[in-house]
Amino acid sequence: MNADTSAFSLKRMRAVARKEIWHILRDPFTLALALGLPLLLVMIFGVAIDFDVKNARVAVDDRDHSQASREIAQIFDNTGAFQTVPVAPQTNPESLLRAGGGKAVW
């Protein structure tokens, strides 16, 4: 193999591009597939994938018992993204997480 056949050739690239364009224009179904399938996938996955957090259980270990700490817990609960679960005074928060009582402890 000499250096001319393995090197990049602009002339060869144009010939291949011309051939591919001719094949796509010759078959309208291929053109529709090449343009329509990616658009269809974007629309399907755009609706199917949702990164919004809804009703994530958060265990609230309120050791302060002040009005401010209760208000913060209520604000978390009112967002709709979190569902607060109170932790009993002598309960270990880690054991609550392991038992599935919440996804996080606050």
Residuewise pLDDT in 10s, the chain (106 residues): 455 566 889 999 999 999 988 888 888 888 888 889 999 998 888 887 778 888 888 888 888 888 998 898 888 888 888 888 888 777 787 787 888 777 777 7
Number of domains, the chain: 2
Question: Do 74 and 101 reside in the same domain of the chain?
Answer: yes
Question: Do 61 and 83 reside in the same domain of the chain?
Answer: yes
Note down the domain range covering 62: 56-105
Question: Do 63 and 94 reside in the same domain of the chain?
Answer: yes
Residue 22, amino acid? W
Sign of the CA dihedral running 50, 55, 57, 59 = positive
Question: Do 73 and 41 reside in the same domain of the chain?
Answer: no
Question: Do 44 and 60 reside in the same domain of the chain?
Answer: no
Question: Three-state DSSP class for 77?
Answer: helix
d(CA 87, CA 56): 16
